Copies of this chain bind each other. A is one copy, B any other.
Amino acid sequence: MVAQQVKTIFQEKYRGVGRMLIACPDRPGIVASVSKFLFENGANIMQSDQYTQDPEGGMFFMRIEFFKEGIEDSIDELRRAFASVADEFEMNWKITLASRPKKMVIFVSKEDHCLRELLWNWQAGDLNAEITMVISNHEDSRDLVESLGIPFYHLPVTAETKAEVERKQRELMEGNVDFIVLARYMQILSPYLVEHYRNRVINIHHSFLPAFIGGKPYDQAHKRGVKIIGATAHYVTEELDAGPIIEQDVSRVSHRDNVGELKKEGRHIERIVLARAVKWHIEDRILVDKNKTVVFT
């Protein structure tokens, strides 16, 4: 029921709205060609952002939000028509429907503050997503999740069950996922998932990366005596805590704060940073360039 309400909000809000994302080697004429194409195909540019890495031989990135009456039914046609423009400029590109909800799977362990924040933002009509399931290695969040009509799967992980659990995760998600959010999931994701969902798995790390890579970052921060703590949302890659950074934020602390208090304060930043990253991903605002992100906010 909540799911249906959210869906309706975005179908109305984004009626006729499409998005075009482009990454290609920079050269003269890209914007002219793209905007001419859109104009001739009856699409009006509502918002456009671009970024040129380096005028001489760098990459060019662009995100356009446009309005085109009936885009919901004619998007495939538009894609076919755009192919020739894209080929000419060697573009890596996609055109998406803004109204189409992205299928989101959330992984969580015991601490539920990030999960709660996502669910709350979703209910509030901030995230155009269909939360297809929540997967956890603990039972704690079952009531919260199921009360919103979202399937909850409890898949505890041990050294023995690891392979079996991964198989099960893949099976559950098959056809039910556009992207994955690790909302304080304290297990390493399998290499298969990392590889298969490249740039589609968002993790929240509870430190200001690259400071305090690895386990127990708040303990590390306390030991080092930092005056500011942070959190980092990033796409997951093979190397732990080293994937492309999407968003970071920080909070001021002092000598008075022990590890427990750093954790409490940190929870506020974690949930805010993760929620921003998820929202930007859903709204197609993030382009990945090697190990860095271009974020059009």
Interface size on A, residues (CB 8 A): 60
**CB neighbours of A163 from chain B (8 A):** none
A8 to B228, CA, bound (A): 31
| Interfacial residues of chain A within 35-91, with CB under 8 A of chain B in the complex | 35-36, 38-40, 42, 44-52, 55, 67
A113 to B32, CA, bound (A): 43
> Does A100 count as interface, using CB distance less than 8 angstroms?
no
Does the CB pair B28–A32 fall under 8 Å?
Answer: no
> Does A173 count as interface, using CB distance less than 8 angstroms?
no
A126 to B261, CA, bound (A): 10
Please pick, from B36, B50, B256, the residue contacting A48 in the complex, using a CB distance under 8 A: B50
Please pick, from B228, B245, B249, B255, the residue contacting A293 in the complex, using a CB distance under 8 A: B255
- Counted per complex, copies of this chain come to 4
A49 to B256, CA, bound (A): 12
| Interfacial residues of chain A within 180-206, with CB under 8 A of chain B in the complex | none
**CB neighbours of A246 from chain B (8 A):** 227
Q: Specify which of A31, A51, A248, A267 lies most central, judged by the most chain B CB atoms within 10 Å of its CB.
A: A31
**CB neighbours of A156 from chain B (8 A):** none
Expressed in whole angstroms, the minimum distance between the Cβ of A32 and any Cβ of chain B is: 4
Expressed in whole angstroms, the minimum distance between the Cβ of A14 and any Cβ of chain B is: 12
Residue of B nearest to A249 (CB): B228
**CB neighbours of A289 from chain B (8 A):** 255
Does the CB pair B116–A255 fall under 8 Å?
Answer: no
A230 to B32, CA, bound (A): 39
**CB neighbours of A28 from chain B (8 A):** 39, 42, 44
Please pick, from B38, B210, B227, the residue contacting A212 in the complex, using a CB distance under 8 A: B210
- Given contacts A48-B48, A120-B116, A124-B113, whether A226 and B245 have CB atoms under 8 Å apart is yes
**CB neighbours of A226 from chain B (8 A):** 209-210, 245, 248
Please pick, from B29, B46, B225, B228, the residue contacting A292 in the complex, using a CB distance under 8 A: B225
Does the CB pair A256–B210 fall under 8 Å?
Answer: no
Which A residues form the contact surface with B (CB < 8 A)? Answer: 27-32, 35-36, 38-40, 42, 44-52, 55, 67, 113, 116, 120, 124, 126, 147, 208-212, 224-228, 230, 244-250, 254-256, 264, 267-268, 272, 289, 291-295
